[in-house]
Amino acid sequence: MNSTFLYGANVHANGIRQHYLRYGGDNGARATRPAVVVIPGITSPAATWGFVGETFGRQFDTYVLDVRGRGLSEASATLDYSLDAQAADVIALAQTLGLERYALVGHSMGARIAIRAARHAPRGLVSTVLVDPPVSGPGRRAYPAKLPWYVDSIRLATRGTDAEGMRAFCPTWTEEQLRLRAQWLHTCDERAMRASFEGFHTDDIHADLPRLSVPSLLITAERGDVVLDADVREMQALAPALLHVRVRSAGHMIPWDNEAGFYEAFGDFLGAKLV
């Protein structure tokens, strides 16, 4: 099947350099549908989500973002890595790209960014998809992943490692997935990761949910304990229109574990089926 990848590019938006990968384009039937901005998680540069971008690009004009401090987007010792800054980045990116109608699809940290961005009801935002967002926060149970897992893997990648080095951290991943993580993980700034991990426990995304005014879909993993059934019920009580789909045979990294099930979970929510 032909690739839908178009190019990688940088823009200056919200005062920083933001890098993204574009798939699909805005021609044909895609021109009639909202664009899609994919926001990856805490240690997932855009390049590691390229296989998802390829699939989305068949139906949508798709932009996979390097969140600040990751991949080829700006990073520094003085950069603000807060959730508010990340949400402002996404809104500014869409405005700078001139996206008249767009959906946010965020995974993990990216889902929390999407929730915070949607709270501001930015012009052009028509829907959000929240993929297994950490539900930790003030007074809530901790995020199940531990900080040393991130620190140790980033430092190993920064020194230089291969797929075998990553296997200890991601034992169920394929050789291709491990190679890609070994190649790109060093571009995740440890300062950015630490700030985001701390934010998992200090930022209250539940307070944002009642202000989720666009149609929204929650996609969660059947395995793992990031989002439990009780968490889904609470989120839907706060945002009654929030739809929910669980993906079978998948842990937190849903498209890595069950790629077909991940795409099927969207149905036609975005305006066209992915598979």
d(CA 220, CA 208): 19
d(CA 177, CA 57): 20
Give me the half-sphere count of Cα atoms (radius 13 Å) on the Cβ side of residue 213: 10
Q: What is the pLDDT of residue 224?
A: 83
Backbone angles phi, psi at 24, to 5 degrees: 85, -60
Asked whether 30 and 24 are in contact (CB, 8 A), the reply is: yes
Nearest alpha carbon to residue 218 among 193, 243, 237, 196: 243
Q: What is the pLDDT of residue 32?
A: 98
d(CA 2, CA 108): 29
Mean pLDDT of 176-201: 98
What tens digit of pLDDT does each residue of 219-251 get? Answer: 999 998 999 999 999 999 999 999 999 999 999
What tens digit of pLDDT does each residue of 24-34 get? Answer: 999 999 999 99
Helix and strand totals (H; E) in the chain: 10, 8
Does residue 3 register a pLDDT over 80?
yes
Mean pLDDT of 106-116: 98
Mean pLDDT of 181-198: 98
Model confidence, pTM? 0.98
Residue ranges and CATH numbers for the domains of the chain are: 5-139+204-266 (3.40.50.1820)
Asked whether 28 and 103 are in contact (CB, 8 A), the reply is: no
What the block records as the tokens of 265 is 């979970």
